[in-house]
Structure 1
Amino acid sequence: MISERVVEQYRFSCARCGSSTVDSYQALLITDSEGNVRSFYSRGGFPCEAPAAAETLCPSCHRGPVHVTLAQQTILTTK
């Protein structure tokens, strides 16, 4: 089993009003012996859903759709 602690920055872009924000999440990625990956996310030290798991509303216009893309990934530790 391999585990990696990473920081992932996600870009949230509103298709309606065009506003864009970037937010950071901490993730624990665990790969089992068969190559299956499980991801556990936290933000601000608290567990949360994966950034793209739920429908996201724009903080500016309070509508959607909001496109979520991985902007950067930094590996902190690997075991």
Structure 2
Amino acid sequence: MPAVIAVRQCGEVALPVPGMRQRMAAGKAEIIRKTVAAELPAMQCLQLARTEQRRGATLIDGQTVAEKAQKLWQNYLRQRMQP
């Protein structure tokens, strides 16, 4: 079974998940051991911010679901259905 290594950058973690082919190949692969000296990076991430992704939305007012569906059809969908 291949080793699963977590890639981490300022709190965000992404785990690569091996597929069946990789698992089968890993069972036959030779294990190579290497020692790595831990060094501090020249730059450190101080803050990670995600840009806000907003999509446009329109709220449809109505007393019943049927009334809202009718307004949706008349005001938005019918225009898009015409060639």
| TM superposition score category, shorter chain reference | under 0.3
Higher relative contact order (CA 8 A, sep 6+): 1
So what's the TM-score if we normalise by structure 1?
A: 0.21
So what's the TM-score if we normalise by structure 2?
A: 0.21
Greater helix share, structure number? 2
